[in-house]
Amino acid sequence: MQNLSTSFKALALAALAATPIAAHADFVYRTPAGMSVSSASEEPPAPTGPASCKAILDAGDSIGSGQYNIVLAGESIRTHCDMTTAGGGWTLVQTRNRGGAYQVSTDLHTAFYETGTDGNASKSLSDAGWMEIRDASTDMMQMNESNTSHYGIISLTKAYAANCKPLGDTLMEYSLWHHEPDCDSSQTDYSFMGANSTTWHGSLYNYSGYLDVDTMGSWYGFNHSYIYVR
């Protein structure tokens, strides 16, 4: 009996060793009822939802300016929607703080309320998220954090065509776009969103009248600002 028991155990262990359970991510447990329940570390379902504040507004789901969830580049983003300025439907894509380093964030709603303090991070969508919403939008707005009645709006077509620095594939740079005949910023013949320094990257200038909407009167050196698209 001792030899038979030992042989049976040896056969059982050999059978187990030949079945690489741990090597299979899709190992299936059998329930008593015979149902198969996978133990695989499956990818969670992709988030779904509107891709912009404009989509929310157009669908009649706006409850006013404030926090909303959108989905961009496969990520759920908590952002701030401006549902009133110039017709509403504006999606916050970046906050800019004087002296603040750039950071990617999926919580721009919280960043909205952190804007206004020198040195706080300037938070942005990822490049993938930015390019997706940029390509689905028509206009861009920069707004003064301390006085939201001060803002400028430009069509993205014109921002792409700016002759000194066209709008690009990332928000994490000082100057978003810059339009000027000679590109030297030495005369009052330029327009841009974001200056070429961390100190003044919140600035908005419209000396050349390149903006489509300007509520400031040619220029405004914002210390802290919001960047929206629609």
Q: What is the pLDDT of residue 44?
A: 81
Element (H, E) at 29: strand 28-30
What is the full per-residue pLDDT of the chain (230 aa) written as tens digits? 444 444 434 444 444 344 443 333 333 333 345 544 444 567 788 999 999 999 999 999 999 999 999 999 999 999 999 999 999 999 999 999 998 899 999 999 999 999 999 989 999 999 999 999 999 999 999 999 999 999 999 999 999 999 999 999 999 999 999 999 999 888 889 999 998 777 788 889 999 999 999 998 767 778 899 999 99
Three-state DSSP class for 206? strand
* Tally of CA atoms within 13 A in the half-sphere of 98 that contains its CB: 13
* Rounded Cα gap, residues 51 and 72, in angstroms: 6
Q: What is the pLDDT of residue 134?
A: 98
DSSP 101-153: PEEE-SBHHHHHHHTTSTT--EEE--HHHHHHHHHT-SEEEEEESS-TT-EEE
Three-state DSSP class for 7? helix
* Rounded Cα gap, residues 127 and 136, in angstroms: 14
Q: Does domain 53-229 have CATH number 1.10.1760?
A: no
pTM of the model: 0.80
Q: Over the range 189-219, which residues count as b (16 or more CB within 10 Å of their CB) and which as e?
A: ebbbbbbeebebbbbbbbebebbeebbbeeb
* Rounded Cα gap, residues 92 and 101, in angstroms: 18
Question: Could you tell me the residue ranges of all domains in the chain?
Answer: 2-38, 53-229
